[in-house]
Amino acid sequence: MRLVLAAALLALLGLGCSAKPSTLEPTLGDAATAEDAAATLEDAGAPHPDAEVLVYGEMAVVPAGGFWMGCSGDDPGWCGLSDPLTCCQPSERPHHYVEVPTFWIDRTEVSVSAYGECVDAGVCGRGGHSLGCNWGSREERANHPISCVDFDHAKAFCEWRGRRLCTEAEWEKAAVGGCEFNGGEQWCRSQTRYHPWGRATPNCLLASMHIYDEDFAGLPGCGTDTSSPIGSRPLGQSPYGVFDMVGNAYEYVHDCRHYSYVGAPTDGSAWTTDCESLIPGATRGGDWRTPAVYLRSTVRWSARPREECCGIRCCTSLAPP
């Protein structure tokens, strides 16, 4: 298994971060067993699955503290010059230190069933019905993430639950962990993980993602051509016990879209000024149609039209009851 992953990484070295799918992306053969995935996590230096996680019902607490946000300036930095799984794009720079106050975050993406309750209450609008949207299969995909809702409906849902959308800094810290999970204050800048589970190559035991078969045909959703039930990949959870932070469904954050971190706040607050897109709400995490090269936790996505995405995850600054 380790040889398979090593070969995949070596094969990827010459690729650039373009939108064109690569024929060298991970395939169904990678991480075929739970034992393989566990070995992958050990190689990546991720915490053991039984590491202490503070959970409050359906939410996890992320303690106050700092982390390095964005793509490291210590990396070679540009697609085509480095491993494409770790290359930096302009929107992920500059790498900067952010102090984030304590907050709580949903451990899973909001399900179709949970969002349906908000729709039935007359608060939220219905999700989209385009191909790939889960609302149109509400009964069959009740435990899949809601998708194809717009920013206003996502915001309304979280407020209806007595919560709010996460800030972009909160989202990324919940995905990669604070410095306590990344080498401590001394090494945090250079050792922050690329993915919620560590630095191992994404595969289908870690994320719901786009892969390729032996003939290099695309297989969205790890071959299912759809999303997966929420929380169904525990080996891919973040250091704080948060599931599906990459893959499965894009997630809105409260911040608007910016093409770099120049001028970004460093206190964990939402950045809602000097927006570089007229569409409200940036998105993070990728979805079940996203290949491994774009599943770094630092990748930032522009907001997309309602019929193409997105899902919801809520945060709160107050301990949930």
Cα atoms in the 13 Å half-sphere on the side-chain side of 232? 16
Strand partners, 276: none
d(CA 143, CA 164): 21
The pLDDT tens digits of the residues spanning 53-103 come to 566 679 999 999 999 999 875 544 445 445 655 677 888 989 999 999 999
pLDDT of residue 223: 95
- Please give the structure tokens belonging to residue 102: 């304590």
Of all residues in the chain, the percent with pLDDT exceeding 70 is: 76
Q: Which amino acid is at 211?
A: I
pLDDT of residue 6: 34
Predicted TM-score of the model (pTM): 0.84
How far apart are the two ends of the chain, measured CA to CA in Å? Answer: 44
pLDDT of residue 169: 98
The answer to whether residue 259 sits within a structural domain is yes
Is residue 46's pLDDT more than 60? no
pLDDT of residue 199: 86
Strand partners, 315: 105, 164
Strand partners, 311: 251
CATH code, 311: 3.90.1580.10
Range of the domain at 102: 2-316
Cα atoms in the 13 Å half-sphere on the side-chain side of 83? 16
What is the mean pLDDT of the segment spanning 129-138? 88
Is residue 308's pLDDT more than 80? no
d(CA 106, CA 273): 26
pLDDT of residue 307: 54
pLDDT of residue 166: 98
pLDDT of residue 14: 28
The answer to whether residue 217 sits within a structural domain is yes
Tell me which long-range contacts 188-191 makes (C-beta under 8 A, separation of at least 24): 188/66, 188/67, 188/68, 189/68, 189/72, 189/74, 189/95, 189/97, 190/72, 190/74
d(CA 219, CA 228): 14
What is the mean pLDDT of the segment spanning 140-151? 95
Q: Which amino acid is at 228?
A: S
The answer to whether residue 135 sits within a structural domain is yes
Cα atoms in the 13 Å half-sphere on the side-chain side of 250? 30
pLDDT of residue 321: 76
| Residue 266 near residue 99 (C-beta atoms within 8 A) | yes
pLDDT of residue 175: 97
The pLDDT tens digits of the residues spanning 232-288 come to 999 999 999 999 999 999 999 999 999 999 999 999 999 999 998 877 889 999 999
Count of structural domains within the chain: 1
The answer to whether residue 321 sits within a structural domain is no
The answer to whether residue 295 sits within a structural domain is yes
d(CA 243, CA 116): 21
What is the mean pLDDT of the segment spanning 288-295? 91
d(CA 48, CA 292): 23
- Please give the structure tokens belonging to residue 145: 């993430």
pLDDT of residue 85: 59
CB atoms within 10 A of CB 51: 11
pLDDT of residue 39: 52
pLDDT of residue 59: 95
The mean of the pLDDT values for the chain is 81
| Residue 92 near residue 70 (C-beta atoms within 8 A) | yes
| Residue 67 near residue 192 (C-beta atoms within 8 A) | yes
What is the mean pLDDT of the segment spanning 115-134? 92
pLDDT of residue 213: 86
